Structure 1
């Protein structure tokens, strides 16, 4: 298990390619017979906005302390997280202290650093100290992830390893391109336990992902307890694809996931899919069906056959109750209402349904997110549409989404033939599907969210998200094999400046992550497109 602790802009800094190529020389690398050199700053994923390499490396030793701002609970929590990462592998005590000494590892919150925004940071490494400065706690946490990647990969091990533990000299100043850098996990087709979700959260955090979209309900299973409609979980959650035992989260378990994600600065976005993908609910309560007859539980993988009864008042009482309870459990801003593949709902009924459901979401203080079919209705003010179309999606459908974006609807981009992590890498991939084609590592990385959707203004793009559907994904090992190495590339598209985008540079940085994944005990696909280290 993963421990539960957890090209820069050329005019200013030269290309990251030059930093990578010259890193060893600039940082004092010696012949192979000498002591190991620090990892070059240019190997970070996602690529930082600005890098200046140079100066002496800092060495973490038995004397190192992690120093945090006096009185800042947030800084101390990040400090404790960092210590939890470093202690098992280094064997050092690494006390977290609020004394004012200037050496060691320093985590500083400075609200005057407005240019760093809510998630940016500045990491400065000298022979005496490593200092991470941020305007907000999330920035400190993201800076810690960069620090982790500057240390040898074996720092991730859960047993003592040999040093030295060197951090390259220089400065990284970094802010994200987009505010939405998401990963989606379908726990409805196959159920994943709290510990499995936490494991994935830890892996996402390393790459500065900040949204966890949990697909909680579908035809095959309802995965969250709802007090006012208890059979949703106890009956609707009792199976999964293939007929397994299924499962669901109690409210306490769901809150545990939300808290854990928050401790890694990920916001949970719960999805209650509707009006289709609802067979588990329809099977649980006959009155939700237009004919008053409950269908049997469903364990297949077809889509689009189910629908809530748009004309019944009980439908909206049901939705109000569910949204109220889910919103109360979820401190984040968003609630996803699905809305795709409603093949059994007429367009007229679909529009009526969305006109009634979106105000319910707003009533409980949440912002609507829906799959991009929502743009075929009338998206609420401030709503976000998640685009999952393909390169081959019709021009009319793309134009519909672009028109909504021009009218104020935000867009999160999840093109299925680029970002869907459940797509096979090639015909021989043992897991996954291929309805959107094969998605190798380069294809998942080599596109620009800023100009991907014709006619959509770049200002409407909120970010990117990598969905992982679970029709045949059953274990944490399965999740990792399909997510890695593609997930870090999507995370980089969300974080890094467009000027850094270069496949030939990226694949080298990506290859360097393999030793870290090995140390973390992760499963991953060794794509022939990536120059992995020899094993």
Structure 2
């Protein structure tokens, strides 16, 4: 995935995400913790005076900034990230949500699920009951309508959103399209909609219509849970961030030298032994089958597909500590908690290796409804030539036999491949003849250039966590590249999409994950969703600035990049410190805490 990073000081263990605040249960008059907001010409809403900390001191810092600096400007119809394909404002057609707003929805269980999640999203800040009612031909009627309807021009994920004086109508061909439309609706409301406690203000949406659809079918982010383990609730919180910006894939890097994070019932020592460690003295852990299914289901409810990665043949020290017979010399290696790469591998000449691979991939595939299995393939420095390509080809064949499509890092390029194989390109130099040749032979690409999309890179020299082997990546560097032209001699039609990986050698807590995700994740999301014609740095930075009050209202401590004109004083320095979060509770699998 990347060259050996310098070992960084370890932070204390992270803790699970806080439970969501309970929403108002009835009526239209919030009774507790209500914040009065007077809409003005310069601000529709400010955030609650007391934001509940989501992750220790970082959240406190975010709340402090929210209360004193991040006063949002009025929302305009085009103030959306990712940028919509078409925006047609109608200034005289604004709509204000009344307290008796009803959400009407087509009589379809998948559409109703989207409507219920929208109601759950809007209830805490508005305090409104927001009942969901099914109707054969739903119309806003003074509220909100989610309509399943044929939309051939918008594909499977596009939507049409119309705001008129009589309400808001979102129409789409699928529940995924309706979901994306609700995320746009969310951004059209005042920033205080992200509050977990009631805010008394006017909930007005700007009038007009939006027609929108994605540029690429694959739009994702990766979370490395192997170097540092993140619990289920923490992963669910990351999924929420991805869904907000219309990403549709979560890639989980489940195995590496430092830890094995997914239970395989036929190979129990993978987790009881291989899952007990992490980088430094951080606690290990793993996902039981029920844990993994909870992640998969939560993602699916938000129209994201989970892509599990079992990294092979390298990055396997944790597996070898559990099953040393797979090692080239058959000896048991010591557990590894450092950050070097390229030293471990399963023996490609050993028949038991392929029995192991089959056992693991069969179980993971059976629990994964999505089409992809990621098989890694990077940095296996000691497996060379035909030993490497032969291994990869056999593993790809196993994946195909399970009815899945193999995804691998672009080091897989020289190997022969099955139809539809996907390479994930993380290079920094667009001249890559091997990858271009693989594309000519039928491979497709997911673009994750290390010098643009790697979210573990530092923002600036003084960023206290992260690496800089691919350079510093502030927001503009994350935004200013084109997936369609990134790799020389690769046609745009071969690009499946984009993904932003977050490696966690130095990232130890949910607070630090969010700090590294935001504000760069929306930049990658826009590259995956928005048409190239909308790509404009000045326009993007202005729209992104409007996300700051939303994150602060939700209690998220993000990096206040000096490249972005955040609302408030332009002389205030960005928040770059990453204070230590509170220790996490004892892990149920490892007993460590």
Do 1:274 and 1:339's aligned partners in 2 also have CA atoms closer than 8 Å? yes
Do 1:279 and 1:298's aligned partners in 2 also have CA atoms closer than 8 Å? yes
- 2:114 is the counterpart of 1:75: no
Say which of 128, 138, 143 aligns to 2:166: 128
> What are the residue-to-residue correspondences of 1:429-440 with 2, within 5 Å?
429-440=463-474
* Alignment match, 1:148: 186
Do 1:4 and 1:199's aligned partners in 2 also have CA atoms closer than 8 Å? no
1:290 deviation in Å?
A: 2.0
Structure 1: distance between partners of 2:215 and 2:354:
38
Q: 1:243 to 1:347 in 2, by over 3 A?
A: farther
* Alignment match, 2:342: 304
Q: 1:164 to 1:242 in 2, by over 3 A?
A: same
* Alignment match, 1:528: 562
Say which of 99, 113, 134 aligns to 1:62: 99
Runs of 4 or more consecutive aligned structure 1 residues displaced over 6 Å after TM superposition: 33-37
1:380 deviation in Å?
A: 2.1
Structure 2: distance between partners of 1:316 and 1:4:
48
- 2:550 is the counterpart of 1:516: yes
Structure 2: distance between partners of 1:347 and 1:491:
37
> What are the residue-to-residue correspondences of 1:449-488 with 2, within 5 Å?
449-488=483-522
Which deviations, in whole Å up to 9, do the C-alpha atoms of 1:166-213 show, x marking residues without a partner?
Answer: 111100000000001000000000000000000010111110010000
Structure 1: distance between partners of 2:323 and 2:379:
22
1:379 deviation in Å?
A: 2.6
- If asked which structure has higher relative contact order (CA below 8 Å, sep 6+), I would say 2
1:32 deviation in Å?
A: 5.8
- What is the root-mean-square deviation of aligned Cα atoms in Å? 1.8
Structure 1: distance between partners of 2:382 and 2:192:
53
TM-score of the superposed pair, with normalisation by structure 2: 0.83
TM-score of the superposed pair, with normalisation by structure 1: 0.92
Structure 2: distance between partners of 1:462 and 1:400:
18
Structure 1: distance between partners of 2:303 and 2:505:
28
Structure 1: distance between partners of 2:443 and 2:471:
28
* Alignment match, 1:383: 421
Structure 2: distance between partners of 1:161 and 1:242:
43
1:5 deviation in Å?
A: 11
Structure 1: distance between partners of 2:83 and 2:307:
26
Say which of 81, 88, 92 aligns to 1:52: 88
Q: 1:75 to 1:33 in 2, by over 3 A?
A: closer
Say which of 123, 142, 145 aligns to 1:106: 145
Do 1:224 and 1:254's aligned partners in 2 also have CA atoms closer than 8 Å? yes
Structure 1: distance between partners of 2:73 and 2:488:
46
Structure 2: distance between partners of 1:214 and 1:34:
39
Do 1:441 and 1:529's aligned partners in 2 also have CA atoms closer than 8 Å? yes
> What are the residue-to-residue correspondences of 1:230-309 with 2, within 5 Å?
230-309=268-347
Which deviations, in whole Å up to 9, do the C-alpha atoms of 1:339-361 show, x marking residues without a partner?
Answer: 00110111221011012111100
Structure 2: distance between partners of 1:347 and 1:240:
31
Give the match's secondary structure for 1:510: helix
* Range that drifts further, 517-526 or 247-256: 517-526
> What are the residue-to-residue correspondences of 1:13-92 with 2, within 5 Å?
39-54=75-90, 55-70=92-107, 72-92=108-128
Do 1:423 and 1:436's aligned partners in 2 also have CA atoms closer than 8 Å? yes
- 2:205 is the counterpart of 1:193: no
Give the match's secondary structure for 1:443: helix
* Alignment match, 1:11: none
Structure 1: distance between partners of 2:174 and 2:41:
41
Number of aligned residue pairs: 507
Do 1:406 and 1:460's aligned partners in 2 also have CA atoms closer than 8 Å? no
1:245 deviation in Å?
A: 2.2
Structure 1: distance between partners of 2:529 and 2:19:
24
Do 2:140 and 2:168's aligned partners in 1 also have CA atoms closer than 8 Å? no
Do 1:426 and 1:439's aligned partners in 2 also have CA atoms closer than 8 Å? yes
Give the match's secondary structure for 1:322: helix
Which deviations, in whole Å up to 9, do the C-alpha atoms of 1:229-276 show, x marking residues without a partner?
Answer: 100011000010003220000000000000001111110000000000
Unaligned stretches of 5+ residues in structure 2: 1-17, 24-38, 46-71, 570-593
* Range that drifts further, 379-388 or 266-275: 379-388
Give the match's secondary structure for 1:241: coil
Do 1:406 and 1:457's aligned partners in 2 also have CA atoms closer than 8 Å? no
Give the match's secondary structure for 1:376: coil
* Alignment match, 1:371: 409
- 2:435 is the counterpart of 1:401: yes
Structure 2: distance between partners of 1:355 and 1:450:
27
Structure 2: distance between partners of 1:354 and 1:348:
10
Give the match's secondary structure for 1:43: coil
Do 1:38 and 1:167's aligned partners in 2 also have CA atoms closer than 8 Å? no
Structure 2: distance between partners of 1:31 and 1:478:
35
